[in-house]
Structure 1
Amino acid sequence: MTVSNHWQYSDEILTNSLRGLVRTNPDLKYLAAERVVYSSSSSKDKVAILSGGGAGHEPLHAGFVGKGMLDVAVSGQVFASPSVKQIYSGLKAKKSNKGTLVVVKNYTGDVIHFGMATQKVQAEGYNAKLLVVQDDVAVPRSKNAMVGRRALAGTCLVHKVIGAKAAQDGAKATLDEVYDIGQRVNRNLATVGASLDHVVIPKITTEENSTNEDEDGSDSDEEVEGLKPDEAEIGMGIHNEPGIKRISPIPDINDLLDEMLGYIFSKEDKERHYVDFDDGDEVALLVNSLGATSNLELFAIQNYAVQLLRKKYGIDPVRCYTGTFTTSLDGPGFSITILNITKAGGKEIKECLDYPTDVPAWNCHVSSATWENALGDQAVVEEPEEIAHPKLPTSNVKFDSKLFREMLTEGSKRALEKEPKITLYDTVAGDGDCGETLSRGANGILKAFRKNSLEETDAVKSLSQLTDLIETKMGGTSGGLYAIFISGLANSFKRQEEQNGKGFNVGINATVTALKDALATLENYTRARKGDRTMMDALIPFIEKLDTTKDVKKAALAAHEGAEATRKMNAMFGRAAYVGKEEFKQFEAEGGLPDPGAIGLAAILSGFADAYSKN
């Protein structure tokens, strides 16, 4: 059993960490309400670069904000994507006359949230593009056809190149040019990691958790079964995702590196050969600590890797970078990244890699002039009013307020009742946070009703408020998916009002139309469909049955049956797609392990149906 050696914290660690970071470089500012770090000096006449993701990977991403790299970084809680509202705040914090390139690691929650925020500013007429980084060779082609490769330490090389491209030569590069060079680097990156154990999420007291509604909870408190004392794992992900294989006893570092580099360079391994390397190609080597591998070891590993590259592959790296760039908290491991400089762009790439930067994580010099203009506590700024209290859309589409309250209340209670079982399922099939995520959303709704802070009559305003509440309280991938769907409902009711030329009271037909429209919206953000072992296996049957029968009880039963059917399905999306089937055997007596998200949604819908039938 893995033992946690984390220090104890009396208040919220992430906020304190980011406050500490901005004091290492006086150019940085911190928008505390949204956990956004941005450069105060970046010009509006250059392409802006925004990136971010869950905490726990420091110094990625906030440590790379500064001259010559990122302009903005947005942080979620540990291993959980920031919300759309946070990312939108980051985009607003540093707008550019040339637009913004949004860089995101290829994890479902990140892609959903950063994609939604990008679309939001695009809808406002702002020029923005999304670049999704993928560099992990541990995920074979047969699995990544649906989910894609994960993103690892190669992300910081993407940051370095695109940041330089945007800044150099008088910042003349266009958004398309910066995006293009980022894509070229992305296509020519390959990373593989190795670790001695899984990491343990620290138990951290937050500023809000006295209500048990807003605690971090982004990953389960349950400890993942660790490796044996004399065992190593190759290819483990930065969120404890399973790797390629476990090796015992722990091999000599030369033998370990030989196998790791083989996954990058071997053309015979069709499953993992993603980047071509030809004779004469120039490469960059990055050796990265996952958090707990010492600098003493890292530089030794770099030297062993260079020797092996020369001896076995005839490659002498023209650029070497060694240090802590992308961690998995205090993970006892390291990763090796190879960038094919020649195929990515040759001289242009080297010039970008060499371009001066003062960001903390690149260990670069900060000038005396910068320190003389230190901002101190002024680096923490107030949240702009337009973000803190955004204006919500309104309509003359009316809910039955009593029914609306009762349905949401009963659905929330069902989610809370089901939480222990959902958490158990997700501890095996995912990262253990599904039950807690639903609980945070349910508690948030119940609290809003207790405070009478949720609009209960205007359907469009109600659902818009609910979207923000769910996105804020739940977080993670589930929060994003629920928020997209609820936002789709609001948009559909607004369109129906405009088409009718007047307001109306919500009935079953208008609801079915809104549900179908919202599903279509959701399908723009996820490739999951019925049969893929996700919450869609409960949602789609519910909508289909309600469409044909107009019977809410029958529709809820269809959702339940769809969720139960996931016990016999293979996972196609999320972290469950990486879990071996042997992990599911303990649930054979129940008929198999169901998808936690589908079970949770079915429980909520059953609560809706029972409340509806009583009215």
Structure 2
Amino acid sequence: MVTTKQWIYEDELVLNSLRGLARSNPDLKYLQAERLVYCASSSDDKVTVLTGGGAGHEPMHAGFVGKGCLDVAVSGQVFASPSVKQIYAGLKASESKKGTLIVVKNYTGDIIHFGMAAERLSAEGYHNKILVVQDDVSVGKTKNGMVGRRALAGTCLLHKIVGAKAAKDSYKATLDDVYDIGQKVNENLVTIGASLGHVIIPHVGERVASDDSDKDDDTNIDLKDDEAEVGMGIHNEPGVSRVSPLPKIKDLVSNLLKYTLSNEDKDRHYVDFASGDEVALLVNNLGATSNLELYAIQNFVVEALEKEYGINPVRVYTGSLCTSLDGPGFSITLLNITKAGSEEIKQCLDYPTEAPGWACHVTGGTWDRANQNDSVVEEPDEIANPPLPSSHVTFDANIAKIGLVQGCHDLIKLEPKLTLYDSAAGDGDCGETLSGGAQSVLRALNSGKLAVGDAVKYLAQMTDLIETDMGGTSGGLYAIFISGMAKSLKQQELRLGKGFKIDLNTMATTLNDSLITLEQYTRARVGDRTLMDALIPFVEEFASSKDLKSAAEAADSGANATRRMAAKFGRATYVSEDEFKQFDAEGGLPDPGAIGLAALLKGFSKAVSK
């Protein structure tokens, strides 16, 4: 029987984990406020390599920071992308004269946040490139052609290779050189995983209500005792198929290798392998597979490669490199070294590193030269307290507060329902993400620290707290939209040459401008089953009628219409139609992000109309 018991953490789990990592190697430093780790000895004469993503996949990301590998890693909360502010801080923490390669996994939140930070850095004249990792062969080209493949454990091999390239050729390697070798790896990298069940997100704080335990248990009930999932993602996303009864491990390995090597499935065939090709193999632990089993699985994989495909791996790596918390499974990654660049790829894989995630050995000299107690450094004031835009644009702060308080309370009450919806169509964090953002807004409204006399600065403060406390894809989209409102108001003020008080007409213009800004960062539109199904009708109706109540009703109608839509973006794209059937009595499974936004807008409208 699988236990659902967990240790109880009274303090912030991610921060303490990063602090513990920094203690393991004196060359690692971390900025606590931004949840980032960087290599103190990195030179500004070499290309900087930065990565990051949600926590829960350790040692991937921060565990690959160290001499001979990555320079910076930024961590979000569990399964949630870090904010733009965090990523920007990471980019500034280890600036290089040669520029920065940003390695990003192909998940919507990561693409948005890392892309925005890169754009901000580019605007400052700093050269950077983004490399998006896509190695999951369980994702077919037909259904998910627009979204693309997810990123899995193959990311770790790419981290090692680009980090080594930047380090070993530090004086002559350009940003293009490091990017090019990474892209060659990316194009010749495939991964497939299998799991016995979903993971359970660790609980932080004392358990005082049974509701929390029930919610955690729910994430583990959809795989039966005699089932395994082939192709499960690292955020609990459904895979390509379920097998029952549980297969013998040799048969499972043989089946998994077909997805990576066989060209029979044209929808999932991405990389050609031929007998005699030099190949690197990584057998990765998703979190809860014992080492005894993992090395046995690796042995079976090597035997199957040789017997069935005539492939004898020239590099074999086994261990916990890209986990999914306590995921009871493993993944197989193959890199075609021959097609990716042969000798230099092997040189980069073999290059010595002190990154703890690559089972490194820290030398005695490194310990001797460092003070074990100085892993925490003071955060530069320009990062900790960046200047906010200001204006002479005013608004009725009391009305705004009344509306936001009601809308946030309504959203918080809806959290269990949103969590249920997202557990069926995603990783189950949408409800808590939106609730966390709403609670942060309520705290800010009661703090007395908001710039109630300056609409632009007020919105900039709201953007900052959403970025800091909300996280995830939803946090990024909300932050972009609110930031777009501030930008629009500032531009309107500049056109007029003076300040003004916001009225219905200026608000309509502001909302429309902000929507245009947001649409630059997401291709989702009405009909794609995202929060845009609620937001776009709201903005369009308000622009037409200047009536908040009718606009909120349009948002509600748009959100409920998602019950009958097929997902085109986000993790819901990987969910089969059968998963949605349990919600037929409600009219179908809606998009939780759209439902949450509609609840916020309805609550705001209801309070203001009084």
Please tell me the TM-score bracket, short chain as reference: over 0.9
- Partners in 2 of 1:511 and 1:402 — Cα distance? 16
Return the alpha-carbon distance in structure 1 between the equivalents of residues 401 and 170 of structure 2.
Answer: 57
Alignment of structure 1 residues 188-203 onto 2, 5 Å: 188-203=188-203
Letter in 2 for 1:257: V
- Picking from 332, 340, 345, the partner of 1:344 is 340
Deviation, 1:330, is 1.8
Q: How far apart in 1 are the matches of 2:262 and 2:55?
A: 33
The corresponding residue for 1:48 is 48
Pairwise CA distance, 1:500: 2.0
Match for 2:290 among 284, 289, 294? 294
Kindly indicate whether the alpha-carbon contact (under 8 Å) linking 1:2 and 1:200 is maintained by their aligned counterparts in 2: no
Q: Post-superposition shift, 1:365?
A: 2.5
**Which residue, out of 420, 441, 445, partners 1:445?**
441
* Pair 1:568-2:561 in alignment: no
- State the secondary structure of the residue aligned to 1:504: coil
Residue 149 of structure 2 aligns with an amino acid whose one-letter code is R
Q: Deviations over 1:240-266 (max 9, x none)?
A: 111122222322222111110000111
Q: CA deviation at 1:586?
A: 2.8
Residue 397 of structure 2 is aligned to residue 365 of structure 1? no
Which stretch has the larger CA shift, 369-378 or 221-230?
Answer: 221-230
**Equivalent pair of 1:22/1:37 in contact (CA under 8 Å):** yes
Q: Which residue of 2 aligns with 1:14?
A: 14
Cα drift, residue 19 of structure 1: 1.5
Q: How far apart, in 2, do the equivalents of 1:43 and 1:221 lie?
A: 47
Secondary structure class of the residue paired with 1:420: helix
Name the SS of the counterpart of 2:521 in structure 1.
Answer: coil
Report the residue type matching 1:43 in the other structure. Answer: S
Counterpart AA for 1:498:
L
- 2:453 pairs, out of 457, 462, 467, with 457
1:494 aligns with: 490
8 Å contact from structure 1 (residues 426, 596) kept in 2: yes
Of residues 550, 555, 558 in structure 2, which corresponds to 1:559?
555
For residues 528 and 493 of structure 2, the distance between their equivalents in structure 1, rounded to whole angstroms, comes to: 35
Give the one of 443, 464, 468 matched to 2:464: 468
8 Å Cα contact 1:239-1:328 kept in structure 2: yes
The equivalent residue for 1:605 is 601
Matches within 5 A, 1:314-353: 314-353=310-349
Shift of 1:51: 0.7
> In the alignment, is the contact (CA less than 8 A) between 1:190 and 1:275 conserved in 2?
yes
Pairing 1:580-591 to 2, within 5 Å after superposition: 580-591=576-587
Equivalent residue, structure 1, for 2:534 = 538
By how many angstroms is 1:566 displaced? Answer: 1.0
Pick closer, same or farther for the CA change 1:613–1:12 going to 2, 3 Å.
closer
Once residues 363 and 332 of structure 2 are traced to their aligned partners in structure 1, the CA distance between those partners, rounded to angstroms, is 31
The answer to whether the 8 Å contact 2:47/2:97 transfers is yes
Q: In structure 2, what is the equivalent of residue 224 of structure 1?
A: 220
Q: 1:481 to 1:379 in 2, by over 3 A?
A: same
Aligned counterpart, 2:524: 528
Q: Give 1:407 deviation, angstroms.
A: 2.5
Q: Distance in 2 between matches of 1:197 and 1:205?
A: 25
Q: Which moved more, 1:234-243 or 1:492-501?
A: 492-501
Name 1:185's counterpart in structure 2.
Answer: 185
Deviations 1:480-509 (A, max 9, x none): 110011011111111121222222221222
2:309 counterpart residue number: 313
Match of 1:110 in 2: 110
List aligned pairs for 1:95-494, cutoff 5 A. Answer: 95-205=95-205, 222-494=218-490
Hey, what's the Cα distance between the residues in 1 that align with 2:551 and 2:13?
Answer: 44
Q: Which amino acid aligns with 1:386?
A: E
Question: What is the CA-CA distance between 1:220 and the residue it aligns to?
Answer: 6.2
- Secondary structure of the residue aligned to 1:546 is helix
Q: How far apart, in 2, do the equivalents of 1:160 and 1:235 lie?
A: 24
Give the secondary structure class of the aligned counterpart of 1:335: strand
- 1:18-44 CA-to-partner distances (Å, cap 9, x unmatched) read 111112211111211211111000100
Q: 1:140: how far off? A: 1.1
Q: Does the CA contact (< 8 Å) of 1:220 and 1:432 recur in 2?
A: no
Q: Deviations over 1:361-399 (max 9, x none)?
A: 112232221111132120111222222222101011221
Cα distance between partner residues in 1 of 2:172 and 2:26: 26
Q: 2:66 aligned with 1:70, yes or no?
A: no
Provide the C-alpha distance between the structure 2 equivalents of 1:165 and 1:578, rounded to a whole number of angstroms: 34
CA distance in 1, matches of 2:8, 2:408: 33
1:403 alignment partner, SS class: helix
Match for 2:437: what amino acid? Answer: G
Larger deviation, residues 88-97 vs 399-408 = 399-408
Task: Assess if the C-alpha contact under 8 Å between 2:56 and 2:325 holds in 1.
Answer: yes
Could you tell me how far 1:587 is from its partner in structure 2?
Answer: 2.4
Q: Deviations along 1:68-90, whole A, 9 cap, x unmatched?
A: 11001111111111111211111
Query: Which secondary structure does the structure 1 equivalent of 2:102 belong to?
Result: strand
Q: Give 1:205 deviation, angstroms.
A: 2.1
Alpha-carbon distance in 1 for matches of 2:196, 2:346: 34
TM-score (structure 1 length as normaliser): 0.95
- Answer yes or no: is the 8 Å Cα contact 1:2–1:223 preserved in 2: no
Q: Is the contact made by 1:166 and 1:172 (CA closer than 8 Å) also made in structure 2? A: no
Which segment is superposed worse, 383-392 or 418-427?
Answer: 418-427
Amino acid in the other structure paired with 1:152: L
> What is the CA–CA distance in structure 2 between the aligned matches of 1:260 and 1:184, rounded to whole Å?
23
Q: CA shift at 1:134, angstroms?
A: 0.8
Q: Once the two structures are aligned, what percentage of the paired residues are identical?
A: 66
Whichever residue aligns with residue 583 of structure 2, its letter is: F
Question: What is the Cα deviation at residue 6 of structure 1?
Answer: 3.0
Partners of 1:143 and 1:87 lie apart in 2 by 31
Q: Give SS of 2:6's match.
A: coil
Give CA-to-partner distance per residue, 1:493-528, whole Å, 9 cap, x none: 111212222222212222222212211221122121
| Number of positions where the alignment pairs a residue of Structure 1 with one of Structure 2 | 607
- In structure 1, distance between residues paired with 2:447 and 2:35: 26
Secondary structure of the 1:6 match is coil
Letter in 2 for 1:485: F
Look up the equivalent residue of 1:156 and give its one-letter code: C
Preserved CA contact (<8 Å) 1:36 1:90? yes
Aligned-partner Cα distance in 1 for 2:327–2:425: 21
Q: Determine the structure 1 residue equivalent to 2:93.
A: 93
CA–CA distance in 1 between the matches of 2:485 and 2:218? 35
One-letter code aligned to 1:36 = L
Between stretches 176-185 and 481-490, larger displacement belongs to: 176-185
Task: Please tell me whether the aligned partners of residues 282 and 317 of structure 1 are also in contact (alpha carbons under 8 angstroms).
Answer: yes
Measured after TM superposition, the shift of residue 235 of structure 1 is 0.8
Q: Distance in 1 between matches of 2:200 and 2:467?
A: 26
Secondary structure of the 2:335 match is strand
Secondary structure at the counterpart of residue 169 of structure 2: helix
**Is the 2:55–2:75 contact (alpha carbons within 8 Å) kept by the matching residues of 1?**
yes
CA distance in 2, matches of 1:302, 1:427: 32
- TM-score (structure 2 length as normaliser): 0.95
Question: Which consecutive unaligned segments of at least 5 residues does structure 1 have?
Answer: none
Deviation at 1:103, TM superposition (A): 0.9
Q: Secondary structure at the match of 2:287?
A: coil
**Superposed displacement of residue 430, structure 1:** 2.4
- Per the TM alignment, residue 5 of structure 1 is displaced from its structure 2 partner at its CA by 4.2
Q: Which amino acid aligns with 2:427?
A: D
Partners of 2:301 and 2:338 lie apart in 1 by 20
SS at match of 1:393: coil
